[in-house]
Structure 1
Amino acid sequence: VAPATLDGLLGVRGVIESDDEAASMETEAFARDLAEGVVRVVADLVEARRAEGRQLADIVTAQVDRIAALTQAAEDNPARKPEAVRARLAASIAALGGTNLDPERLHQEAMLLAGKADVREELDRLHAHVASARELLAAGGAIGRRLDFLAQEFGREANTLCAKANDISLSRIGLDLKAVVEQFREQVQNIE
């Protein structure tokens, strides 16, 4: 008889037995733990997204409030009044040495300049866009694309306001408005 080899011993029935039932129980326990872990991870992810969404809603709402306040400041700006335009025109003419001008003609020119610099339409649209943004934020849901569209509209109106500004104070309001609108647009990119 030849000496026993390892291969021969392992091949003898009963030397190594596989406990299929124990292995099956371990596999089931592992699968159960894995499934529970996945459920917890997904629940944590969903809650983290909700928390981020609440914080983002607060940020965007504050930006919409700031846009509304700047729009109101532009509307209330005394530089928009025809009298202010007339006074600036008179000061410019006086600085050029033209004091002999007809006051009626000066008034007509002031009215033309005031008409060109009138930002009433832009302010009305800004107010309407603010109302739309507030409605969307209150409605919730998938509003990211619509808010992105509003951000573009806010930007257009802010640009036009700056272009038509006939006074440094109105220009500053317009530039502040553009900055807030840009911040709003960046935040909106994170909304689903």
Structure 2
Amino acid sequence: MSFSMTGYGQYSLSYGGYNVLFEMKSVNHRYCEVVFRMPREWTRYEDGLRKIIQRELRRGRIDVFITKELSVESHLNPVLNEEVVASYLEAAKELELRYGMRGNMEISDVLSLPGVLLKPEEAILRVATEDEAWDIALQEGITHALEELVDMRAREGSHLAKDIETRISSLEVYHEKMVELAPHVVTEYRDKLRQRLTEISDGSFDEHKFGMEIAIFADRSNIDEELTRLSSHLTQCRQLLTSPDPVGRKLDFLIQEMNREVNTIGTKAHHLTLVNLVMDMKAELEKIREQAANLE
């Protein structure tokens, strides 16, 4: 399956009194370059987050934006300090077991004890210092944003692959026409040369020299090897488009090789129809090259 290097992903979550927004966008790049822009206190998590991304993406420049803002609820509601509540309840049990003290503790009694309720800003500060918890939350956000980015790259890559396949089909048609036309190039040249010599020499010319001229022309205009290599390259292009591995660089290399073969055919071709086919192939190869530049 072919993947584009262009994509966008987004995800948001609420944690520790903050609304956290994850945005990822990727564009073409020769290698896999991941650039983070996020609050300074989270830079310690950067290496772990980068590894998550690089496990899924092989090429492209990936810009990752992580922003946070206090949630509305964090400004309004006090937070229950569960650790303190548990310690008070444990102390009450110990009083009952060790000293035989009896009594009922109401909710209002618990809430009135020191440290049971935290101010919103105090709770946020406590959560913000829990490194492992924040690490897990950030990994969750990155993973979901990455999934959306990969989905978009897959959809775009599918469109690119279909367009390239269509253009490869056009190249194959041009190639077949060249294969059919190639054997007739020498024959047409021989007939035209014979007719020209007959006209200027009243039918008397050296057949031996004539034959040598035709042989030299046939050798210089032979494009069988170029057509064979071109056919092989076209087959490899089709195979690459169904490969699960990144294909962008390999496809770019094959396009360069096909351009080289087509240019050689154009140099050797002494035939108007062949020259026109060469021009058509070069135009299609350029369009394929532009599309392949977007593939991972």
Question: Structures share a fold, TM > 0.5?
Answer: yes
After TM superposition, the runs of 4+ consecutive aligned structure 1 residues lying more than 6 A away are 31-37
Count of matched residue pairs: 172
Kindly provide the CA deviation profile for residues 159-186 of structure 1, in whole angstroms up to 9, marking residues without a partner as x.
Answer: 0011011110010011111111122222
State the SS of the aligned residue for 2:204. Answer: coil
Aligned to 1:46: 150
Structure 2: how far apart are the matches of 1:134 and 1:122? 19
Residues 79 and 166 of structure 1 are in contact (CA less than 8 Å); yes or no, is this contact kept in structure 2? no
Question: Counterparts in 2 of 1:146-161, with a 5 A limit?
Answer: 146-161=250-265
Shift of 1:103: 4.0
Higher helix fraction: Structure 1 or Structure 2? 1
Structure 2: how far apart are the matches of 1:34 and 1:139? 32
* Structure 1 residues 35 and 20, CA gap change in structure 2 (3 angstroms): farther
Q: Does 1:74 align with 2:178?
A: yes
Kindly provide the CA deviation profile for residues 102-157 of structure 1, in whole angstroms up to 9, marking residues without a partner as x.
Answer: 34532332232122101111101101111111222222311111111101100100
* Structure 1 residues 92 and 163, CA gap change in structure 2 (3 angstroms): farther
RMSD: 3.0
Q: Pick one of 90, 109, 115 that aligns with 2:219.
A: 115
Structure 1: how far apart are the matches of 2:227 and 2:272? 17
TM-score, structure 1 normalization:
0.75
Aligned to 1:20: 118
Structure 2: how far apart are the matches of 1:104 and 1:83? 17
* Structure 1 residues 166 and 191, CA gap change in structure 2 (3 angstroms): same
Structure 2: how far apart are the matches of 1:153 and 1:175? 16
Structure 2: how far apart are the matches of 1:138 and 1:130? 13
Structure 1 gap ranges (5+): 1-18
Aligned to 2:232: 128
Structure 2 gap ranges (5+): 1-116, 128-133
Q: Percent identity over the alignment?
A: 28
